[in-house]
Structure 1
Amino acid sequence: MTTLPPFIGIVQGDACGIGPELMSKLLQKLTAAERNRVLIISDQRIMTAGNAVTGQDTPYKRLNEPTEIDREYGQPQLLDIRCLDPANIVPGTVSVDAGRAVLKTFGLAIDLAQSDVIEGICFMPFNKAAMHLAGIGVADELTWAKKRLGVTGRASEFNVIDGMW
């Protein structure tokens, strides 16, 4: 019996930063088996912008609703969360709109993990200043996730960037 890699939700990150291009690069670096167990949680237009920067493109199935997610599909899936108009993106700036998009997509990833739709969360870099402008209300994304999940004990995140940045 073959064990499948975990089904991971990957959140786009701050669209005014390097998140979109890192997402594009990450998807290219994954093995086929890993890539086929990925749910991209992003506005498709932001994903397209990241691919334009890198010149790379990973085929995926576009989904409109979380109910369309299929863990057994066997190809990357993109849950298209229309949350940030690319016309409002100014690279290298702090944007309340980008902060809101991060809170929306990261919050959805947390909800999907809590309901066992995905088995883990990976995210591209967030901009804490943008998240504060958007009303995060706590120090950082880890504290926000703990509060959203009702966790009172310790929590950790792992930052991995080998060969990516």
Structure 2
Amino acid sequence: DGAGIGPEVIVPALLDAGTLSRIRPVVVGDAERLRRAAELLGLADQVEIVTVEGPADAEFTPGRINVIDLGLLPADLPWGKLSAVAGDAAYQYVRVASELALSGAVQGICTAPLNKEALHAGGHLYPGHTELLAHLTGVEEVSMMLSTDTVKVIHVTTHIGLIDAVARIEPGLVERTVRRGHDALVRAGAEHPVIGVCGINPHAGENGLFGYGEEEEKIVPALEVLRADGIDARGPLPADTAFFLAGRGDYDLIVAMYHDQGHGPVKILGLEAGVNLTVGLP
């Protein structure tokens, strides 16, 4: 979102020597907005922001930032204020980046923060990046994975109310979510990931004492299918201890049933070093 923190994050990130040692970055956005951000940060004399037609035209030298300039933002766009224009522009940036990835012109995309209210005001009614990227790549179902050095978490449900989340959880969705997480970890180099699957109720239902048998109905059948396929998925686990166990290394991935069950622990254990991955994309 050009009215938000994104430009101020992107400029110093791409001036960092460590960034250029790992990747060849090309920004999809508005070049003039990045120049204004560089001025605000006192970095204007250290950076050259260059417009390119596409990744093939980019040059990667210290101090240079390559920008595919969509030119969508007005010069007088205020910082830090909700803007439908900026919300629409943010959608267009992600759309173009996704097209570049699908065509093979880039090997991956990294998104700066969106403002969901601005995105909606701009006419793009998605709960967030996860659902937007699924739409742009033609995938019906994806999962949000929060990844930190300490713990990795994938979510069966995310941006819906708690009552709706419990209603939506069913064995097929749990199974598909675990498979997406397993596949992502294997692709990242973990040959035999150990996956801990949270229950829904306190103490994972305590053998029927809490809740109405949701664990047995909604989670256990999925785990039986997964284990039969050789996936090491364990549970249902009491969520209040699962993250402690993951933090000490017992699990490579925790499967959370709903948003706050996964987000809360991750933001305590690794917020500053964490990233949000969308898994299940092509």
With structure 1 as the length reference, what TM-score do the two structures score? 0.76
Q: Greater CA radius of gyration, 1 or 2?
A: 2
Give 1:1-165 correspondences, 5 Å limit. 14-31=1-18, 32-34=20-22, 37-56=24-43, 57-63=46-52, 65-66=53-54, 69-70=55-56, 73-75=59-61, 76-87=65-76, 89-156=77-144, 161-162=272-273
Distance in 2 between the 1:86 and 1:158 partners? 35
Cα 1:148/1:84, change in 2 over 3 Å: same
- Provide the rounded CA distance (Å) in 2 between the counterparts of 1:140 and 1:104: 14
- Taking the aligned partners of 2:139 and 2:111, their CA distance within structure 1 comes to 20
**Cα distance per residue 1:28-49 (max 9 Å; x no partner):** 23424336x1111111111101
* 3-state SS of 2:109 partner: strand
Contact 2:87 2:122 in 1 (8 A): yes
**Cα separation, partners in 2 of 1:158 and 1:73, compared to 1, 3 Å:** farther
Q: 1:73 to 1:29 in 2, by over 3 A?
A: closer
Kindly provide the CA deviation profile for residues 118-143 of structure 1, in whole angstroms up to 9, marking residues without a partner as x.
11111211100000001112222220
Q: What's the CA shift for 1:158?
A: 5.0
Q: Distance in 2 between matches of 1:48 and 1:158?
A: 31
CA contact (8 A) 1:94 1:130 kept: yes
When structure 1 is superposed on structure 2, of 19-28 and 100-109 the one drifting more is 19-28
Deviation for aligned residue 1:19: 1.0
Contact residue 146 and residue 155 of structure 1 kept, 8 A = no
RMSD after superposition? 2.3
C-alpha displacement of 1:60: 4.7
Number of residue pairs matched by the alignment? 144
Q: Which has the higher contact order (CA 8 A, sep 6+)?
A: 1
Matched with 1:8 is: none
**Separation in 2 of the partners of 1:81 and 1:133?**
19
Q: Which segments of 5 or more consecutive residues in structure 1 lack a partner in the other structure?
A: 1-13
5+ residue gaps, structure 2, are 148-270, 274-282
